[in-house]
């Protein structure tokens, strides 16, 4: 009976984590690729301000999309903790905390984008600043968001490094394939290098994470597959025994 409950709990956690990661891809890609990257032009305050003013509703939808992503990230952090707890309870908790730190930091950074909207749509702002000053303020808020996002992704990269280690460790009992752990660790280092690079070097424009992220979607697909198929009860018990020892 206990084994059946453990298997059901593990399946549900895997399914919730996989679905959360899958669903967040839609608003996340829309907000980043079709809104922020198109509207915010680094070093060009006037074009950035004009882009946002001409597409204010779309810009707001993009911000709301990121809020949805953060809500789903909290759910995923919880589900991954439950799922990986049999591997190592303390480290799975630490991984969850790093993901929650990422959520909190990115949430604070998002306030800067609402500040941009306040500047461009508020009558008081328009009368209190000249056009050049207003555009400069908009760019300042956009840059602040960018730096906040970089800091958030440092926490996210640490989450991925611990997650990758846990996945790799679980491979010894057959719980999760080891290769997924290796790919997640590589993805974590990609994010770490890129975001520390942007924080340390203003002209840093490499995108290593574009080539190292593959572990994330593969892990998501594996979670969905195992969440639907289920786990071997002996493997779960073997994983728990390994963690306790």
CB-facing half-sphere around the CA of 22: CA atoms within 13 A: 14
Helices marked H in the chain: 2-29, 37-39, 45-54, 56-84, 89-121, 123-128, 131-170, 178-200, 209-212, 215-229, 233-244
Q: Which domain holds residue 112?
A: 2-244
- Give me the pLDDT at residue 3, please: 45
> What pLDDT does residue 237 have?
60
Quickly count: other Cβ atoms within 10 Å of residue 207's Cβ.
11
Torsion of CA 187, 191, 194, 199, to 10 degrees: -160
Best-predicted range by mean pLDDT (118-127, 208-217, 225-234): 208-217
Task: State mean pLDDT over 52-78.
Answer: 96
Burial grade of 122 (CB within 10 A; 0-12, 13-18, 19 or more):
exposed
Average pLDDT over residues 56-71: 96
Of 1-10, 64-73, 131-140, 202-211, the range with the highest mean pLDDT is 64-73
Return mean pLDDT, the chain.
88
Which pLDDT band holds residue 135 (cuts at 50, 70, 90)?
confident
Instruction: In whole angstroms, give the CA distance from residue 238 to residue 67.
Output: 39
243 pLDDT tier (thresholds 50, 70, 90) = low
Residue 144: per-residue pLDDT: 96
Give CA separation, 54 vs 6, 44, 125, in Å: 53, 16, 17
Nearest to 240 by CA among 92, 131, 86, 120: 86
Burial of 242 (0-12, 13-18, 19+ CB in 10 A): middle
- What is residue 124's predicted lDDT score, i.e. its pLDDT? 55
**3-state secondary structure at position 137:** helix
Among 35, 110, 102, residue whose Cα is nearest residue 73: 102
pLDDT, residue 227, reads 80
pLDDT digits (tens, 9 = 90+) for 80-122: 999 999 999 999 999 999 999 999 999 999 999 999 988 887 6
Number of folded domains that form the chain: 1
Q: Do residues 216 and 184 touch, judged by C-beta distance below 8 A? A: yes
Question: pLDDT (tens digit, 9 = 90+) per residue, 161-205?
Answer: 999 999 999 887 778 999 999 999 999 999 999 999 999 998 888
pLDDT value of residue 242 = 56
Q: Does position 5 have pLDDT exceeding 80, yes or no?
A: no
Q: The pTM is what?
A: 0.90
């Amino acid at each position: 009976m206990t084994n059946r409950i453990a298997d059901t709990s593990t399946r549900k956690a895997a399914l919730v984590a996989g679905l959360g990661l899958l669903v967040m891809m839609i608003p996340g890609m829309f907000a980043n690729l079709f809104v922020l990257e198109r509207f915010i032009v680094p070093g060009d305050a006037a074009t950035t301000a004009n882009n946002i003013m001409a597409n204010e509703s779309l810009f707001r939808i993009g911000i709301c999309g990121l809020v949805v992503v953060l809500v789903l990230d909290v759910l995923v952090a919880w589900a991954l903790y439950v799922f990986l707890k049999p591997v190592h309870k303390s480290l799975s908790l630490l991984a969850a905390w790093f993901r929650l730190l990422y959520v909190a930091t990115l949430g604070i950074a998002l306030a800067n984008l609402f500040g941009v909207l306040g500047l461009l749509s508020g009558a008081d702002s328009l009368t209190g600043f000249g056009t050049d000053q207003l555009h400069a303020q908009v760019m300042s808020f956009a840059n602040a968001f960018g730096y906040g996002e970089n800091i958030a992704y440092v926490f996210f990269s640490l989450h991925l490094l611990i997650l990758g280690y846990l996945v790799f460790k679980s491979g010894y009992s057959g719980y999760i394939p080891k290769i997924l752990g290796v790919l997640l660790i590589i993805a974590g280092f990609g994010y770490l290098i890129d975001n520390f690079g942007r924080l340390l070097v203003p002209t840093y424009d490499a995108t290593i994470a574009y080539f190292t992220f593959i572990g994330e979607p593969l892990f998501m697909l594996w979670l969905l597959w195992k969440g639907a198929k289920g786990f071997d009860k002996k493997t779960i018990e073997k994983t728990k025994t390994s963690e306790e020892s």
